Amino acid sequence: MSVLHDLFDAQLTVFGQHILWREVIGNAFGFASAIGGLRRRVWAWPAGIAGNLLLFTVFFGVAFDNPQAMTLFGQAGRQIFFIVTSIYGWWRWYGVSRGRGSTGPAITPRWATVRERLALAAFWVVAVVVVQQVFVWFGAGWPAPRWYFWCDAWIFVGSMVATYAMARGWNDFWLAWLAVDAVGVPLLIKSHFYPSAVLYVVYGGLVAYGFSVWLRTSRAAVAAPAASTPVTV
Protein backbone atom coordinates (compact mmCIF):
# COMPACT_ATOMS: atom_id res chain seq x y z
CA MET A 1 0.00 0.00 0.00
CA SER A 2 2.88 2.38 0.72
CA VAL A 3 4.14 1.92 -2.84
CA LEU A 4 0.72 2.82 -4.24
CA HIS A 5 0.54 5.80 -1.90
CA ASP A 6 3.97 7.00 -3.03
CA LEU A 7 2.97 6.67 -6.68
CA PHE A 8 -0.29 8.54 -6.02
CA ASP A 9 1.55 11.43 -4.35
CA ALA A 10 4.56 11.47 -6.70
CA GLN A 11 5.61 14.99 -7.71
CA LEU A 12 8.11 16.76 -9.88
CA THR A 13 9.48 20.25 -9.41
CA VAL A 14 9.54 22.75 -12.27
CA PHE A 15 10.97 26.24 -11.63
CA GLY A 16 10.41 25.76 -7.92
CA GLN A 17 6.77 24.70 -8.33
CA HIS A 18 5.65 21.27 -7.10
CA ILE A 19 3.46 19.46 -9.61
CA LEU A 20 1.72 16.10 -9.20
CA TRP A 21 2.51 13.46 -11.78
CA ARG A 22 -1.21 12.71 -11.67
CA GLU A 23 -1.87 16.10 -13.20
CA VAL A 24 0.68 15.53 -15.96
CA ILE A 25 -0.52 12.01 -16.80
CA GLY A 26 -4.19 12.98 -16.56
CA ASN A 27 -3.65 15.80 -19.02
CA ALA A 28 -1.71 13.45 -21.33
CA PHE A 29 -4.79 11.21 -21.46
CA GLY A 30 -6.89 14.31 -22.12
CA PHE A 31 -4.67 15.32 -25.01
CA ALA A 32 -4.85 11.80 -26.47
CA SER A 33 -8.64 11.98 -26.18
CA ALA A 34 -8.66 15.29 -28.05
CA ILE A 35 -6.62 13.72 -30.87
CA GLY A 36 -9.05 10.81 -31.00
CA GLY A 37 -11.99 13.21 -31.09
CA LEU A 38 -10.42 15.14 -33.96
CA ARG A 39 -10.07 11.86 -35.86
CA ARG A 40 -13.57 10.80 -34.76
CA ARG A 41 -12.36 7.56 -33.20
CA VAL A 42 -14.36 5.69 -30.56
CA TRP A 43 -11.29 5.17 -28.34
CA ALA A 44 -11.23 8.93 -27.65
CA TRP A 45 -13.94 8.44 -25.02
CA PRO A 46 -12.31 5.79 -22.76
CA ALA A 47 -8.99 7.64 -23.01
CA GLY A 48 -10.75 10.78 -21.81
CA ILE A 49 -12.38 8.93 -18.91
CA ALA A 50 -8.99 7.76 -17.65
CA GLY A 51 -7.72 11.33 -17.68
CA ASN A 52 -10.85 12.62 -15.96
CA LEU A 53 -10.44 10.18 -13.07
CA LEU A 54 -6.87 11.31 -12.47
CA LEU A 55 -7.64 15.02 -12.79
CA PHE A 56 -10.56 14.75 -10.37
CA THR A 57 -8.10 13.71 -7.66
CA VAL A 58 -5.91 16.70 -8.57
CA PHE A 59 -8.53 19.44 -8.53
CA PHE A 60 -10.50 18.10 -5.55
CA GLY A 61 -7.60 19.00 -3.29
CA VAL A 62 -9.68 19.12 -0.13
CA ALA A 63 -9.89 15.29 -0.22
CA PHE A 64 -6.81 14.40 -2.29
CA ASP A 65 -3.96 16.52 -0.99
CA ASN A 66 -2.39 18.58 -3.78
CA PRO A 67 0.69 20.82 -3.57
CA GLN A 68 -1.36 23.90 -4.43
CA ALA A 69 -3.42 23.37 -1.24
CA MET A 70 -6.39 24.52 -3.28
CA THR A 71 -9.64 22.99 -4.49
CA LEU A 72 -11.22 24.04 -7.80
CA PHE A 73 -14.74 22.76 -7.36
CA GLY A 74 -15.78 23.65 -10.91
CA GLN A 75 -12.78 21.86 -12.39
CA ALA A 76 -13.31 18.86 -10.13
CA GLY A 77 -17.05 18.75 -10.75
CA ARG A 78 -16.68 18.87 -14.49
CA GLN A 79 -14.47 15.76 -14.40
CA ILE A 80 -17.47 13.87 -13.00
CA PHE A 81 -19.70 15.25 -15.74
CA PHE A 82 -17.06 14.39 -18.35
CA ILE A 83 -17.15 10.77 -17.20
CA VAL A 84 -20.96 10.61 -17.41
CA THR A 85 -21.09 12.33 -20.80
CA SER A 86 -18.16 10.29 -22.11
CA ILE A 87 -20.06 7.09 -21.36
CA TYR A 88 -22.93 8.47 -23.47
CA GLY A 89 -20.54 9.60 -26.24
CA TRP A 90 -18.75 6.24 -26.16
CA TRP A 91 -22.08 4.40 -26.49
CA ARG A 92 -23.34 6.69 -29.25
CA TRP A 93 -20.18 6.71 -31.41
CA TYR A 94 -19.76 2.96 -31.00
CA GLY A 95 -23.38 2.35 -32.00
CA VAL A 96 -23.11 4.60 -35.07
CA SER A 97 -19.82 3.04 -36.18
CA ARG A 98 -21.25 -0.46 -35.80
CA GLY A 99 -24.29 0.56 -37.84
CA ARG A 100 -21.97 1.65 -40.61
CA GLY A 101 -19.95 -1.52 -40.42
CA SER A 102 -16.76 0.54 -40.72
CA THR A 103 -13.53 0.75 -38.75
CA GLY A 104 -12.97 4.34 -39.89
CA PRO A 105 -14.33 7.55 -38.35
CA ALA A 106 -17.30 6.85 -36.08
CA ILE A 107 -19.54 9.76 -37.08
CA THR A 108 -20.09 12.36 -39.79
CA PRO A 109 -19.96 15.86 -38.23
CA ARG A 110 -22.54 18.56 -38.90
CA TRP A 111 -23.56 21.96 -37.58
CA ALA A 112 -26.20 22.06 -34.89
CA THR A 113 -29.53 23.35 -36.13
CA VAL A 114 -30.68 26.83 -35.11
CA ARG A 115 -33.04 25.30 -32.58
CA GLU A 116 -30.32 23.08 -31.11
CA ARG A 117 -27.87 25.98 -30.94
CA LEU A 118 -30.35 28.28 -29.21
CA ALA A 119 -31.16 25.55 -26.69
CA LEU A 120 -27.45 25.10 -25.91
CA ALA A 121 -26.88 28.85 -25.56
CA ALA A 122 -29.90 29.27 -23.28
CA PHE A 123 -28.79 26.36 -21.13
CA TRP A 124 -25.26 27.78 -20.91
CA VAL A 125 -26.42 31.21 -19.73
CA VAL A 126 -29.00 29.98 -17.21
CA ALA A 127 -26.75 27.23 -15.87
CA VAL A 128 -23.81 29.61 -15.32
CA VAL A 129 -26.01 31.89 -13.22
CA VAL A 130 -27.29 28.98 -11.14
CA VAL A 131 -23.98 27.12 -10.81
CA GLN A 132 -21.94 30.14 -9.72
CA GLN A 133 -24.40 30.69 -6.88
CA VAL A 134 -24.15 27.03 -5.88
CA PHE A 135 -20.36 27.35 -5.85
CA VAL A 136 -20.66 30.44 -3.64
CA TRP A 137 -22.78 28.48 -1.15
CA PHE A 138 -20.24 25.66 -1.05
CA GLY A 139 -17.32 28.08 -0.83
CA ALA A 140 -13.84 27.51 -2.19
CA GLY A 141 -12.06 26.63 1.04
CA TRP A 142 -10.17 29.93 0.80
CA PRO A 143 -11.29 33.61 0.61
CA ALA A 144 -12.08 33.55 -3.11
CA PRO A 145 -13.39 36.72 -4.83
CA ARG A 146 -16.77 36.58 -6.55
CA TRP A 147 -15.25 36.60 -10.06
CA TYR A 148 -13.59 33.28 -9.23
CA PHE A 149 -16.99 31.59 -8.89
CA TRP A 150 -18.22 33.08 -12.16
CA CYS A 151 -15.11 31.82 -13.95
CA ASP A 152 -15.38 28.37 -12.40
CA ALA A 153 -19.07 28.18 -13.34
CA TRP A 154 -18.33 29.28 -16.93
CA ILE A 155 -15.71 26.55 -17.29
CA PHE A 156 -17.91 23.92 -15.67
CA VAL A 157 -21.03 24.62 -17.75
CA GLY A 158 -19.10 25.29 -20.97
CA SER A 159 -17.39 21.92 -20.62
CA MET A 160 -20.79 20.27 -20.24
CA VAL A 161 -22.03 21.96 -23.41
CA ALA A 162 -18.88 21.16 -25.41
CA THR A 163 -18.77 17.49 -24.41
CA TYR A 164 -22.45 16.95 -25.16
CA ALA A 165 -22.09 18.66 -28.55
CA MET A 166 -19.09 16.45 -29.33
CA ALA A 167 -21.13 13.35 -28.49
CA ARG A 168 -23.79 14.57 -30.91
CA GLY A 169 -21.17 15.18 -33.60
CA TRP A 170 -21.78 18.93 -33.92
CA ASN A 171 -19.07 21.25 -35.27
CA ASP A 172 -20.15 23.75 -32.64
CA PHE A 173 -18.37 21.83 -29.89
CA TRP A 174 -14.98 23.14 -31.05
CA LEU A 175 -16.18 26.74 -30.67
CA ALA A 176 -17.54 25.97 -27.21
CA TRP A 177 -14.09 24.68 -26.20
CA LEU A 178 -12.45 27.90 -27.36
CA ALA A 179 -14.84 29.84 -25.12
CA VAL A 180 -13.96 27.56 -22.19
CA ASP A 181 -10.21 27.89 -22.81
CA ALA A 182 -10.40 31.68 -22.92
CA VAL A 183 -11.39 31.64 -19.24
CA GLY A 184 -9.77 28.39 -18.17
CA VAL A 185 -6.16 29.23 -19.04
CA PRO A 186 -5.93 32.43 -16.96
CA LEU A 187 -7.71 30.78 -14.01
CA LEU A 188 -5.41 27.74 -14.03
CA ILE A 189 -2.29 29.91 -14.22
CA LYS A 190 -3.47 32.05 -11.33
CA SER A 191 -4.22 28.88 -9.32
CA HIS A 192 -0.75 27.40 -10.10
CA PHE A 193 -2.06 24.36 -12.00
CA TYR A 194 0.60 24.86 -14.65
CA PRO A 195 0.51 21.53 -16.55
CA SER A 196 -3.24 21.95 -17.05
CA ALA A 197 -2.78 25.57 -18.14
CA VAL A 198 -0.09 24.61 -20.67
CA LEU A 199 -2.27 21.82 -22.02
CA TYR A 200 -5.20 24.23 -22.40
CA VAL A 201 -2.97 26.51 -24.50
CA VAL A 202 -1.99 23.55 -26.66
CA TYR A 203 -5.66 22.61 -26.84
CA GLY A 204 -6.34 26.04 -28.35
CA GLY A 205 -4.20 25.23 -31.38
CA LEU A 206 -5.60 21.71 -31.58
CA VAL A 207 -9.15 23.01 -31.35
CA ALA A 208 -8.58 25.45 -34.21
CA TYR A 209 -7.13 22.67 -36.36
CA GLY A 210 -9.84 20.17 -35.34
CA PHE A 211 -12.54 22.68 -36.18
CA SER A 212 -11.12 23.10 -39.69
CA VAL A 213 -10.98 19.32 -40.17
CA TRP A 214 -14.55 18.74 -39.00
CA LEU A 215 -15.76 21.71 -41.05
CA ARG A 216 -14.27 20.30 -44.25
CA THR A 217 -15.75 16.88 -43.50
CA SER A 218 -19.22 18.27 -42.84
CA ARG A 219 -19.10 20.29 -46.06
CA ALA A 220 -18.10 17.19 -47.99
CA ALA A 221 -21.02 15.34 -46.40
CA VAL A 222 -23.45 18.04 -47.55
CA ALA A 223 -22.01 17.82 -51.06
CA ALA A 224 -22.56 14.05 -51.13
CA PRO A 225 -25.65 13.48 -48.94
CA ALA A 226 -26.45 10.06 -50.36
CA ALA A 227 -23.10 8.68 -49.26
CA SER A 228 -22.58 10.59 -46.03
CA THR A 229 -25.94 11.12 -44.33
CA PRO A 230 -25.34 11.49 -40.55
CA VAL A 231 -26.86 8.80 -38.40
CA THR A 232 -28.92 10.00 -35.45
CA VAL A 233 -29.14 7.98 -32.27
Give the C-alpha separation, 44 to 25, whole Å. 16
Flag whether 67 is in a domain. Answer: yes
Flag whether 233 is in a domain. Answer: no
Flag whether 146 is in a domain. Answer: yes
Tell me, rounded to whole angstroms, the distance of Cα 179 from its chain centroid.
Answer: 12
At residue 20, the 3 state secondary structure works out as strand
Flag whether 144 is in a domain. Answer: yes
Flag whether 111 is in a domain. Answer: yes
Flag whether 182 is in a domain. Answer: yes
Q: pTM for this one?
A: 0.73
Q: Would you give the DSSP letter of residue 11?
A: E
Q: What is the pLDDT of residues 184-214, one digit of tens each?
A: 888 888 877 777 788 778 878 888 898 999 9
Q: Which helix (H) or strand (E) holds 225?
A: helix 225-228
Predicted confidence band of residue 233 (pLDDT cuts 50, 70, 90):
very low
Q: What is the pLDDT of residues 83-142, one digit of tens each?
A: 988 899 899 888 888 766 666 677 889 999 999 999 999 999 999 999 999 988 877 666
Domain range holding 130?
2-228
Give the C-alpha separation, 87 to 84, whole Å. 5
Number of domains comprising the chain: 1
Residue 100 has what pLDDT?
A: 67
Flag whether 157 is in a domain. Answer: yes
Q: What are phi and psi of 58, to 5 degrees?
A: -80, -50
